[in-house]
C-alpha cells in the first residue's frame, strides 16, 4: 500500500513541478532544462504505469493461487471424509468386523465418465459402500467405494481423473490417503476401463495423448506407494464394434460371463511385449474363427454376415489395442514402465453408435467414402463382464508385493512389541515371584512370632510388670506392622493379601485391648486414687480427665495422654528409654483402634473423684490445669534479662531461686497465651470440666466470659506475685573496697552499662503488658510505686541522689 501511495505522489509531484516550471521559467533560462524536466516526468509516468500493470497482474496471480489453495483444501477434506466413512464401513462391526484393512485386496478403477465403470462393477457383484452417507455428487466427482466379500474397489471420479487429464494435487491426496490406511500395500492393482469407441473414433494423436494420461497416472501412483502396480486394461462398450453382438448373442449365459481377452505371462522384466500380444491375438482370432462353422449352422441367415465378419473386425480392433497398450507400456526417460497384465473386451449393454471397422478399412484402401457408423440395435445383455474380477484379477492379488521399507518397519515394530511383551511378562513373573517370596517370609515370621507370643503370654503372671508387657507385645507389633504397611500395586501378589494382613492386625489389636489397656487403667486409676486420698483437686481434675479418655474415644487427646503416661513411667523408672519408645508405639496403636468399648470404668472411683471436685471453683482448677500443660510449663531464667553488669552492683538474697519462673509470667509468654472469652483453650477446658461432672452440653458464652475474667484475675495475681518476689529479693552488694564501689558507681552512672537501668528495664518491660515508650527515671519510679515495689522505688531515689552527687566527675 505504501508503494502505491508513494508512486502516485511521485507522479503527481513530477507533473505539477514540470508544469509549474514551464509556466514560471523566464526566457533567459536554457531551453534544454525545460525539455529535460519534461523527459524525466514522462519517464517517471511510464515506469509508474508499467509497475502498476505488473503489480495488478501479480495480484491477480496471487488471488488465483489463493483460490486454488482454498479449493484444494475443500477437495482434500471431501476425500478424507470419503475415506474415513468408507473404511469404517468396510471394516464392519461385531462378528462381521475385519481383522484389518489388509484382509481384502484393494483396486483402483480409472476411466472416463461414459466408459461404464459403475456398470462393470455392479455386474461383478460389487456394491457401493458410502452412497447413503454422503452427497451423491461427491461420490461421482471424487471417489466411489465398492466392496463385496472378496475385494474393495475405489472408483476415481472425473474431478481427480478423466480422459482429459489428471489433477496432480488431488492425485497425491488420494495416494496419501491410501498410504494412511494401508501403508505397507496401498493397492493390489489398477483396472483401467476404456471405452472401445475412444479407440475407433479418435485419430492416432488422440490415442497417444490418452495413453500418456494413463501412463502418467499409473507411474505416479506407483511411485507414491513405492509399488510396481499391475494394470488390467478393460475395454468396455465392445458392442459398439460392428458384428460383436451378432456373433456372441448365440453364446450361452455361462460362456458369455467368462472373460474375453489376453493375459500376459508374469516374467521378470514386467515390460509390455508387442510381439507377444500379436501372437496371443492371433491365437484368439483363430479360436474365434474355429467356432464359425458351428455358429453358422445354428443361426439364421441374417446373422451369418456377423459371424463371418467378426474375426476381421476383431483383428482390426486388436491392432489398435496393441498400438494403444504399446504407448502405455513404453519406458519413459527414467526407464520406468507400466506393468500391463492383460487386455479384455466386455460389454455391459450400453446404448450408442456401432462402428464398422472392416468397412472403414476397405473404404480407406479402395479410396472411397462410406458411412461406417450406425445406431446400435436395442440390447441389454452384457458380455464377458461378470467374472472379470473372480477369474482374472483376484487370483493374482498377491503378485504386487509390499512396500519393502514400510514392511520392514512394520516387522521391526511387531518384533519390538513382541520382545517388549515377553520382557514385560518375564519381569512381571520375576517380580511376582519375589513378592510371593517376601509375602511367604512375612507369613512364616508372623506365624513363628505368634507362637512365641502365645508362649510368652502364657508365662505372664497376673502381677506382671509393664516392662514384661511391653516386651511381649512389641515383638508381635513389629511383625504385624510390616504386614499392614501400604504397598504399591506392583508389590502385591493377591487381592486377598491385604485382608490377611488386616486380620492379623485385628488380632494384634485384640491383644492390646486385653493386656495393655487394663495395665493403663491400673496405672492411671492407682495415681488417681492417691491424689483423691491426698485431696489435690487440680491433679484430680487432670488425672480424672485422662482416666475417662480410656473409656470415651470422643474425649481422647492422644498427645496429652501420651505425654502424661510417658512422664509418669519415666518418674517411676520402671522402663528404660528403649522400652519407653516401644511403649509409645504400642499405645499409639492402641488408641488408633476402637478401644473404648473394651473395658468397664471404675464408677466408684469416678464418683469419689468427682465428689472431691464439687464445691470447688472451676476457674482455679482450670487455671491450675493450664499451668500444668506442656506448652505452658516451660521455665525461663530471668538472670539473662537482668543485664551483664547485674553482679557488679546487685545480688539475690540467700537461698532465693525465684529467678526461674514459668515463661507465661513474662512479656513473651503473655503474648502467647489467650485467656479471653473467645479463647479455644478456655472453651476446651471448660467443656472437659463439665464432661467430668456428666454435663456434655459444652460451655456457654456467659460461662466463658465469667471464666475468662476469673482466670485472668488469678493469672495476673500470680504474675504480680512472681515479679514482686523477684524485686524484693534483689539487694545491693556489700563492697569491701572503695575502688570497687567507685567503679560500680561509674558503671551505674553510664546509661549504656548501668546495671540499675538494665534491672529496671527488665522489670518494666515484663510488668508493663502493653506497648509503651522507654520510661525515664521518674516514670519508672511511678510504675514501681503502682506495682507496690517499694524497694525498687527506694533504689530509684538513691540513683537520683547519686546522679546529683557524682555529676560529671565519674
DSSP-derived secondary structure for 468-526 = HHHHHHHHHHHHHHHHHS---GGG-S-TTHHHHHHHHHHHHHHHIIIIIHHHHHHHHHH
Contact (Cβ atoms closer than 8 angstroms) between residue 779 and residue 760? no
- Per-residue confidence at 447, pLDDT binned at 50, 70, 90? confident
- Per-residue confidence at 368, pLDDT binned at 50, 70, 90? low
Instruction: Tell me if 563 is assigned to some domain.
Output: no
- 180 has pLDDT over 80: yes
Contact (Cβ atoms closer than 8 angstroms) between residue 610 and residue 602? no
E runs forming strands in 118-224: 127-128, 143-147, 152-156, 161-162, 165-166, 189-195
Between residues 602 and 366, the one the model is more confident about: 602
- Looking at 30, 53, 69, the residue that finishes a domain is 69
Please indicate, yes or no, whether residues 204 and 141 belong to a single structural domain of this protein: yes
Give how far the C-alpha of residue 356 lies from the chain's centroid of Cα atoms, to the nearest Å: 72
Please indicate, yes or no, whether residues 60 and 170 belong to a single structural domain of this protein: no
- Per-residue confidence at 370, pLDDT binned at 50, 70, 90? low
594: left (phi over 0), alpha (psi -120 to 50) or beta: beta
Tally of structural domains, the chain: 3
Average pLDDT over residues 410-429: 91
- 282 has pLDDT over 90: yes
pLDDT digits 0-9 by tens, 686-702? 887 777 776 667 778 88
Instruction: Tell me if 567 is assigned to some domain.
Output: no
Please indicate, yes or no, whether residues 40 and 139 belong to a single structural domain of this protein: no
Please indicate, yes or no, whether residues 51 and 130 belong to a single structural domain of this protein: no
**What is the structure's pLDDT at 807?**
41
Please indicate, yes or no, whether residues 109 and 52 belong to a single structural domain of this protein: no
Phi and psi torsions of 576, nearest 5° = -80, 170
Window from 204-208, 303-307, 668-672, 722-726 with minimum mean pLDDT:
303-307
**Distance between CA atoms of residues 270 and 264, nearest Å:** 10
How far separated are the first and last CA of the chain, in Å rounded?
A: 94
10 Å Cβ neighbour count for 146? 24
368: left (phi over 0), alpha (psi -120 to 50) or beta: beta
Instruction: Tell me if 504 is assigned to some domain.
Output: no
Domain containing 726 equals 663-806
pLDDT digits 0-9 by tens, 232-274? 999 998 888 888 888 888 788 788 889 999 999 888 888 999 9
Please indicate, yes or no, whether residues 54 and 140 belong to a single structural domain of this protein: no
- 416 has pLDDT over 90: yes
Average pLDDT over residues 393-416: 88
Question: Chain-wide mean pLDDT for the chain?
Answer: 81
pLDDT digits 0-9 by tens, 120-152? 999 999 999 876 555 566 667 889 999 999 999
Please indicate, yes or no, whether residues 254 and 369 belong to a single structural domain of this protein: yes
Proportion of the chain above pLDDT 90, given as a percent: 21
**Distance between CA atoms of residues 16 and 267, nearest Å:** 82
Q: Give the pairing type, strands 353-355 and 339-345.
A: unpaired
**What is the structure's pLDDT at 304?**
80
Average pLDDT over residues 496-523: 82
Alpha-carbon Rg of the chain, whole angstroms?
57
Average pLDDT over residues 374-378: 57
- 481 has pLDDT over 80: no
What is the DSSP track for 67-86? HHHHHHHHHHHHHHHHHHHH
- 421 has pLDDT over 90: yes
User: In angstroms, how far apart are the furthest CA atoms of the chain?
Assistant: 169
Please indicate, yes or no, whether residues 210 and 358 belong to a single structural domain of this protein: yes
Contact (Cβ atoms closer than 8 angstroms) between residue 223 and residue 177? no
Of the segments 34-38, 171-175, 366-370, which one has the largest average pLDDT value?
171-175
Of the segments 409-413, 496-500, 736-740, which one has the largest average pLDDT value?
409-413
**What is the structure's pLDDT at 486?**
66
Instruction: Tell me if 678 is assigned to some domain.
Output: yes
**What is the structure's pLDDT at 107?**
96
Does the pTM surpass 0.85? The reply is: no
- Enumerate the β-bridge partners of residue 154: 108, 145
Please indicate, yes or no, whether residues 238 and 340 belong to a single structural domain of this protein: yes
C-alpha cell at 403: 512396500
Contact (Cβ atoms closer than 8 angstroms) between residue 388 and residue 344? yes
Instruction: Tell me if 155 is assigned to some domain.
Output: yes
Please indicate, yes or no, whether residues 192 and 262 belong to a single structural domain of this protein: yes
Instruction: Tell me if 498 is assigned to some domain.
Output: no
**Distance between CA atoms of residues 141 and 164, nearest Å:** 14
**Distance between CA atoms of residues 674 and 680, nearest Å:** 8
Average pLDDT over residues 405-417: 88
Please indicate, yes or no, whether residues 263 and 380 belong to a single structural domain of this protein: yes
**What is the structure's pLDDT at 95?**
78
Instruction: Tell me if 109 is assigned to some domain.
Output: yes
- Looking at 375, 402, 429, the residue that finishes a domain is 402
Query: What is the per-residue burial (b if ≥16 Cβ within 10 Å, else e) of 451-489?
Result: eebeebbeeeeeeeebeebbebbbbbbebbeebeeebee
Contact (Cβ atoms closer than 8 angstroms) between residue 581 and residue 471? no
Which are the contacts of 331, defined by CB distance < 8 A and separation ≥ 6?
271, 337
- Per-residue confidence at 379, pLDDT binned at 50, 70, 90? low
Please indicate, yes or no, whether residues 386 and 240 belong to a single structural domain of this protein: yes
Tell me if residue 112 falls in helix, strand or coil: coil
Average pLDDT over residues 352-380: 68
**Distance between CA atoms of residues 786 and 665, nearest Å:** 18
Helix spans in 232-337 (H): 244-248, 253-257, 274-289, 292-298, 301-329
**What is the structure's pLDDT at 357?**
82
Which of these, 684, 537, 533, 520, lies nearest to 602 by C-alpha position? 520
Instruction: Tell me if 609 is assigned to some domain.
Output: no
pLDDT digits 0-9 by tens, 291-337? 887 888 777 767 788 888 889 989 999 999 999 999 999 988 888 89
**Distance between CA atoms of residues 510 and 589, nearest Å:** 11
Residue corresponding to grid cell 460362456:
255
- 38 has pLDDT over 90: no
Which of these, 345, 55, 302, lies nearest to 199 by C-alpha position? 345
- Looking at 363, 383, 402, the residue that finishes a domain is 402
What is the DSSP track for 523-555? HHHHHHHHHHHHT-HHHHHHHHHHHHHTT-GGG
Contact (Cβ atoms closer than 8 angstroms) between residue 355 and residue 314? no
**What is the structure's pLDDT at 810?**
33
Between residues 334 and 454, the one the model is more confident about: 334
Amino acid at each position: 500500500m505504501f508503494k502505491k501511495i508513494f508512486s502516485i505522489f511521485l507522479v503527481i509531484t513530477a507533473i505539477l513541478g514540470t508544469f509549474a516550471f514551464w509556466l514560471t521559467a523566464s526566457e533567459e533560462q536554457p531551453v534544454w532544462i525545460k525539455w529535460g524536466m519534461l523527459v524525466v516526468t514522462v519517464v517517471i509516468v511510464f515506469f509508474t504505469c508499467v509497475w502498476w500493470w505488473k503489480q495488478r497482474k501479480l495480484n491477480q496471480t496471487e488471488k488465483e493461487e489463493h483460490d486454488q489453495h482454498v479449493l484444494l483444501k475443500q477437495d482434500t477434506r471431501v476425500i478424507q471424509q470419503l475415506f474415513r466413512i468408507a473404511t469404517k464401513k468396510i471394516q464392519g462391526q461385531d462378528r462381521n468386523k475385519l481383522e484389518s484393512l489388509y484382509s481384502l485386496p484393494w483396486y483402483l478403477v480409472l476411466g472416463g465418465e461414459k466408459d461404464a465403470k459403475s456398470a462393470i462393477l455392479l455386474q461383478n457383484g460389487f456394491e457401493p459402500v458410502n452412497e447413503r452417507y454422503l452427497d451423491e455428487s461427491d461420490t461421482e466427482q471424487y471417489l466411489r467405494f465398492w466392496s463385496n466379500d472378496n475385494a474393495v474397489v475405489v472408483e476415481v471420479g472425473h474431478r481427480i481423473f478423466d480422459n482429459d487429464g489428471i489433477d496432480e494435487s488431488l492425485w497425491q491426496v488420494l495416494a496419501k490417503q491410501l498410504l494412511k490406511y494401508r501403508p505397507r500395500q496401498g493397492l493390489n492393482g489398477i483396472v483401467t476401463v476404456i471405452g472401445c469407441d475412444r479407440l475407433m473414433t479418435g485419430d492416432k494423436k488422440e490415442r497417444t495423448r490418452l495413453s500418456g494420461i494413463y501412463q502418467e497416472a499409473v507411474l505416479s501412483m506407483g511411485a507414491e506407494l513405492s509399488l510396481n502396480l499391475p494394470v488390467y486394461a478393460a475395454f468396455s462398450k465392445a458392442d459398439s464394434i460392428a458384428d460383436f453382438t451378432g456373433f456372441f448373442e448365440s453364446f450361452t449365459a455361462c460362456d458369455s460371463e467368462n472373460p474375453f481377452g489376453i493375459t500376459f505371462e508374469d516374467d521378470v522384466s514386467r515390460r509390455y511385449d508387442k510381439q507377444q500380444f500379436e501372437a496371443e491375438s492371433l491365437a484368439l482370432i483363430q479360436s474365434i474363427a474355429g467356432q464359425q462353422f458351428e455358429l453358422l449352422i445354428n443361426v439364421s441367415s441374417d446373422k451369418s454376415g456377423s459371424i463371418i465378419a467378426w474375426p476381421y473386425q476383431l483383428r482390426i480392433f486388436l491392432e489398435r489395442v496393441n498400438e494403444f497398450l504399446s504407448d502405455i507400456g513404453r519406458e519413459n526417460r527414467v526407464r520406468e514402465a507400466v506393468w500391463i497384465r492383460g487386455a479384455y473386451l466386455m460389454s455391459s449393454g450400453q446404448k450408442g453408435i456401432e462402428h464398422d471397422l472392416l468397412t472403414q478399412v476397405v473404404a480407406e484402401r479402395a479410396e472411397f467414402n462410406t458411412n461406417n457408423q450406425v445406431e446400435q440395435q436395442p440390447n441389454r445383455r452384457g458380455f464377458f463382464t461378470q467374472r472379470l474380477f473372480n477369474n482374472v484379477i483376484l487370483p493374482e492379488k498377491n503378485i504386487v508385493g509390499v512396500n519393502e521399507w514400510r514392511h520392514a518397519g512394520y516387522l521391526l515394530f511387531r518384533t519390538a512389541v513382541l520382545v517388549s511383551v515377553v520382557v514385560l511378562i518375564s519381569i512381571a513373573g520375576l517380580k511376582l515371584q519375589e513378592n510371593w517370596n517376601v509375602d511367604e517370609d512375612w507369613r512364616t515370621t508372623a506365624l513363628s512370632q505368634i507362637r512365641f507370643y502365645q508362649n510368652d503370654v502364657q508365662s505372664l503372671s497376673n502381677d506382671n510388670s509393664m516392662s514384661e508387657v511391653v516386651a511381649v507385645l512389641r515383638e508381635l507389633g513389629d511383625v504385624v506392622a510390616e504386614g499392614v504397611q501400604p504397598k504399591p500395586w506392583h508389590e502385591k501378589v493377591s487381592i486377598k493379601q491385604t485382608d490377611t494382613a488386616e486380620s492379623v492386625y485385628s488380632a494384634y489389636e485384640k491383644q492390646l485391648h486385653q493386656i495393655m489397656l487394663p495395665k493403663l487403667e491400673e496405672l492411671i486409676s492407682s495415681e488417681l486414687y492417691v491424689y483423691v486420698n491426698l485431696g489435690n483437686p487440680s491433679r484430680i481434675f487432670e488425672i480424672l480427665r485422662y482416666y475417662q479418655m480410656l473409656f470415651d474415644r470422643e474425649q481422647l487427646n492422644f498427645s496429652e495422654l501420651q505425654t502424661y503416661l510417658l512422664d509418669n513411667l519415666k518418674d517411676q523408672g520402671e522402663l528404660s528409654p528403649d522400652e519407653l519408645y516401644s511403649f509409645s508405639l504400642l499405645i499409639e496403636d492402641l488408641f488408633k483402634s476402637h478401644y473404648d468399648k473394651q473395658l468397664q470404668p471404675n464408677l466408684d472411683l469416678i464418683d469419689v473423684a468427682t465428689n472431691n471436685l464439687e464445691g470447688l471453683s472451676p476457674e482455679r482448677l482450670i487455671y491450675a490445669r493450664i499451668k500444668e500443660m506442656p506448652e505452658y510449663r516451660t521455665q525461663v531464667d530471668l538472670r539473662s534479662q537482668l543485664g551483664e553488669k547485674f553482679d557488679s552492683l546487685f545480688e539475690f538474697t540467700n537461698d532465693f531461686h525465684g529467678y526461674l519462673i514459668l515463661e507465661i509470667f513474662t512479656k513473651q509468654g503473655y503474648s502467647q497465651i489467650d485467656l479471653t472469652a473467645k479463647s479455644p483453650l478456655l472453651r476446651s477446658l471448660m467443656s472437659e470440666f463439665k464432661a467430668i461432672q456428666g454435663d456434655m452440653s459444652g460451655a456457654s458464652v456467659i460461662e466463658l466470659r465469667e471464666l475468662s475474667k476469673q482466670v485472668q484475675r488469678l493469672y495476673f495475681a500470680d504474675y504480680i506475685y512472681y515479679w514482686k518476689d523477684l524485686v524484693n529479693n534483689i539487694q545491693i552488694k556489700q563492697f569491701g573496697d572503695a575502688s570497687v564501689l567507685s567503679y560500680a558507681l561509674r558503671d551505674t552512672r553510664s546509661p549504656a552499662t548501668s546495671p540499675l537501668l538494665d534491672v529496671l528495664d527488665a522489670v518494666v518491660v515484663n510488668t508493663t503488658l502493653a506497648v509503651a515508650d522507654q520510661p525515664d527515671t521518674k516514670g519508672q519510679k511511678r510504675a514501681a510505686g503502682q506495682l507496690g515495689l517499694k524497694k525498687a522505688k527506694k533504689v530509684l531515689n538513691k540513683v537520683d541522689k547519686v546522679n546529683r552527687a557524682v555529676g560529671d566527675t565519674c
